[in-house]
Structure 1
């Protein structure tokens, strides 16, 4: 028993030491707040960016894919750059939560300052003032109407109810691969669930669905 306990304590110590080591490498952008560095999946500390399939609404009432836009903006700024990340914790998905720097710039702070992410105050107040300044200046996502990413994730869990009432078209991928969108009132609309983790998504218009590679359901 003593030997087992000693091994357990040693294992915890090694795990803590590994977490404390900086992660360095070329940065690859996954989405607005998630990156890969040195082959390790990292969730950026203290920020929350729109989900890739999350829509926004302009003040004129036009819907568009701001989640995709944010991901492209982050990729344009940071893809392929040398990064140094300081691990702080792990999340429930096994990702390392870390503060990442590109040169002398804190990546999370830059994203919040430019209006590409929110300060994730539930976990940190580090970027609170940065977000307030971006909000006043209406930078990036602060110039549009959208749910908080956390709320959006919560409302799409069942997959059957649109997180945004203005974006109710269901982009489904069937078992054989074709991408088909279903409009409210069609035969299979109510029974169709959207699974974002498998590439399915919500659309705000038929034009958006067609442009993204989906075809209309026949009935």
Structure 2
């Protein structure tokens, strides 16, 4: 058995009128803008590429090292500045130099590897560093010779409770110490919000 449906009247095909010159120019302009934005974003993505450095480390202070030609600021921590002093048992002591010695002991003449994509205002790579299986950033905070600076808050709380390193006495936060010495730069924390801000700035920066 066959079925049939009533056929309605066929619609007559009416071709669209050609676009005006101005409309075509507008379309071409929008295409060029979108293409330009795509090229710009692609060119900026190299800023987010993770850099990896490895080699024999020169320990500059408690939170920065040099690997070859690359200066590295250890991400998420802040150690006393090299010339900074702290107080314990009623006497001042060179906590900045001891922080540097602590980092050197953690490295223990082993090869160091660091990775990161952000840089600070002085061009130093903000890096997560290891010597063998030792997470140097984390270990320096755990040892009490650096404070949390956007990360490692749990490790700082443990070191503070155990009164190890600088927590055994009294000290100025490294950031506060830098603020009180005009020849020392002000540095912002390395937390997640700072990373997001860096990413947004890299995407929109044209120079």
TM-score by length of 1: 0.62
Secondary structure of 2:118's match? strand
- Please tell me whether the aligned partners of residues 23 and 86 of structure 1 are also in contact (alpha carbons under 8 angstroms): yes
Identify which of 142, 150, 156 aligns with 1:131. 156
Alpha-carbon shift at residue 5 of structure 1 (Å): 7.2
Q: Within the alignment, does 1:149 sit opposite 2:154 as a pair?
A: no
Identify which of 39, 45, 51 aligns with 2:75. 45
Identify which of 55, 70, 74 aligns with 2:85. 55
Q: Which runs of no fewer than 5 residues in structure 2 stay unpaired?
A: 1-31, 186-207
Determine the structure 1 residue equivalent to 2:136: 107
- State which structure, 1 or 2, has the greater radius of gyration over its C-alpha atoms: 2
Identify which of 26, 40, 44 aligns with 1:12. 44
Q: Aligned partners of 1:140 and 1:67: how far apart in 2?
A: 11
Alpha-carbon shift at residue 97 of structure 1 (Å): 0.4
- Larger RCO (CA under 8 A, 6+ residues apart): 2
Q: Within the alignment, does 1:90 sit opposite 2:115 as a pair?
A: no
Q: Which runs of no fewer than 5 residues in structure 1 stay unpaired?
A: 158-194, 198-219
Alpha-carbon shift at residue 12 of structure 1 (Å): 2.2
Q: Aligned partners of 2:184 and 2:42: how far apart in 1?
A: 40
- Please tell me whether the aligned partners of residues 110 and 132 of structure 2 are also in contact (alpha carbons under 8 angstroms): no
Determine the structure 2 residue equivalent to 1:34: 64
TM-score by length of 2: 0.66
Query: Residues 175-186 of structure 1: matches in 2 within 5 Å?
Result: none
Q: Aligned partners of 2:177 and 2:99: how far apart in 1?
A: 15
- Please tell me whether the aligned partners of residues 27 and 79 of structure 1 are also in contact (alpha carbons under 8 angstroms): no
Alpha-carbon shift at residue 155 of structure 1 (Å): 0.8
For residues 146-178 of structure 1, the C-alpha deviation after alignment (integer angstroms, 9 at most, x for no partner) is 100000000111xxxxxxxxxxxxxxxxxxxxx
Aligned residue pairs total: 153
Q: Aligned partners of 1:128 and 1:6: how far apart in 2?
A: 39
Task: Please tell me the root mean square deviation across aligned C-alpha atoms, in Å.
Answer: 2.3
Deviates more, 1:71-80 or 1:39-48: 71-80
* Closer, same or farther: CA 196–149 of 1 in aligned 2, 3 Å: closer
- Please tell me whether the aligned partners of residues 106 and 136 of structure 2 are also in contact (alpha carbons under 8 angstroms): no
